[in-house]
Structure 1
Amino acid sequence: MKRVLNKTLGLFSATLFLFSCGGGSKEPVNEAPTKVNLTYPTQNLLCIDNSIPFDWSDATDPNNDNVSYKIEIATNRELTNIIKTQTATVSNITITLNKGEAHYWRVTAVDNKGKEGEPSEVFAFYTKGEGETNTAPFTAELVKPKDEETISGTTVTLEWKGADSNVGDTLTYDVYFGEEANPTTIKEENLSTTSLEVDIESGKTYYWKINTKDNFGAKSIGQVWSFTIN
């Protein structure tokens, strides 16, 4: 009788244990909103008015959370010098900026729990100044190798993109390349293409930047990028 009772109590305890471990529903995983696409200002646009009606596509949220949008505007392509950050609950907002400046912007969707989605692409535009006839080119956009990337080989092709809000301007590039963290040696001057092959050595870290010039003498100073060789 005692053995039967112990067995019954054991089964009862096991049932309680399973119930306590498996009972209740799990909180759903909070997923980030989708990436948005920028609509206006379009890439490399010359804006006559400095009151800009920013516009982008709507984001969707996998958990059906409410979504807001973080708009970041900077004076450099890498967005390390952000001059304005604003939040919108709809996919458009009007922002007034200084005239006569190049700007770079992106939008990130954020759900009401603070989960951020992947930032949008970075678009460049220029707000024209009073009486201004020529504007400086936009800073060069990195293509490859990626900043701080580790690569192999004895040569590498540096690639970038150039752009100017003045349609019809001819762009040339000065390529600075070397082992200094702030390269001062010009590897190639007045280059008309957007790529350059350079020799590299194993175990070294190289730094490079692109200064962009138009045919009227206006120039933009590029960001310094780096890569390391295995």
Structure 2
Amino acid sequence: MRKVVKKIALFSVPLLVACGGGSKEPVNEAPTTVNLVYPTQNLLCVDNSIDFDWSDATDPNKDNISYKVVIAKNRELTNEPKTKTVGTSQVSITLEKGVAYYWKVTAVDNKGKEGEPSPIFAFYTKSEGETNTAPFTAELVKPTDEGTVSGTTIKLQWKGADSNTEDTLKYDLYFGEDTDLVEKATNLEVESQEVSVETGKTYYWKVNTIDSAGAKSIGQVWSFTVN
């Protein structure tokens, strides 16, 4: 009897091993918010060459930090903005005389991560022989610009300021359903006003500020939508 020998071919299958290595790179966190030191809020600066100063920021990842300084002629920081990035918490800048300025500082780490910007401070550079300066533009308190509110009566609130601290301020309120605003109230001595609104509509408003010498600053247009 013939023996039949079966040959079995053995195949060597390589074992694939997925290798994951090392620990994950830590998440990059933003630097802290700085506090503005000088010029202080609503300061009248006699000299227009100013040493800006703010507190040092810290970084959770121990990254190196730089500071982005923005100075402009309006509270929204869009009118002729000057932007400067520096490595220390001080910088000297010469500005025009007789102008109201607004400024903020943002800390940035060396990976480009920005922290929350500082509050915006206002100051005024006095011109030679000037006896009265215009007030600062009104600062929004509530409702939040481009925000959403509920109700049929909304309280508009703002804050006024003047580098001439002895001045008495009054306000003209403009209000409407589009940016072509209608005068709502004049010579207000308070910094708030209630208005009637309707659900589903968007409203626009602004506040002009007038000092006791008649100098006026024109406010920014804000808006809100009613649920």
Please indicate the TM-score interval, normalised by the length of the shorter structure.
over 0.9
Q: Which has the larger radius of gyration?
A: 2
AA aligned to 2:165 is V
TM-score when scaled to structure 2? Answer: 0.92
Deviation digits for residues 36-91 of structure 1 (CA, Å, limit 9, x no counterpart): 00000000000000000100000001111110101000111011224311111110
Q: Does the CA-based 8 Å contact 1:138-1:164 persist in structure 2?
A: yes
Q: What is the CA–CA distance in structure 2 between the aligned matches of 1:186 and 1:221, rounded to whole Å?
A: 13
| Aligned match of 1:115 | 113
What are the superposed Cα offsets for residues 195-216 of structure 1, whole Å, 9 maximum, x if unpaired? 0001011111111000000010
Alignment map for 1:78-93 (pairs within 5 Å): 78-93=76-91
Q: 1:44-63, aligned counterparts within 5 Å?
A: 44-63=42-61
In the alignment, which residue of structure 2 is the partner of 1:141?
139
Structure 1: how far apart are the matches of 2:204 and 2:73? 22
Q: Which amino acid aligns with 1:215?
A: S
Give the number of equivalent residue pairs: 218
Which position in structure 2 is the counterpart of 1:224?
Answer: 221
| Aligned partner letter, 2:183 | I
- List gaps (5 residues or longer) in structure 2: 1-9
**Are the aligned partners of 1:161 and 1:194 in contact in 2 as well (CA < 8 Å)?**
yes
Gaps of 5+ in 1: none
| Cα separation, 2, equivalents of 1:223 and 1:64 | 39
Residues 68 and 87 of structure 1 are in contact (CA less than 8 Å); yes or no, is this contact kept in structure 2?
Answer: yes
Deviation for aligned residue 1:143: 0.4
Aligned-residue Cα RMSD (Å) equals: 1.6
Counterparts of 1:136 and 1:182 in 2: how far apart (Å)? 24
Pairing of 1:96-111 with structure 2 (within 5 A):
96-111=94-109
> What is the distance in 1 between the residues matched to 2:61 and 2:21?
23
Secondary structure class of the residue paired with 1:168: coil
Q: Within 2, Cα distance between the matches of 1:193 and 1:161?
A: 9
Structure 1 or 2: more helix by fraction: 1
Aligned equivalent of 1:200, options 191, 197, 200: 197
2:4 corresponds in structure 1 to none
2:84 counterpart letter in structure 1? Q
Is 1:125 paired with 2:127? Answer: no
1:162-181 correspondence to structure 2 within 5 Å: 162-181=160-179
Percentage of identical aligned residues = 71
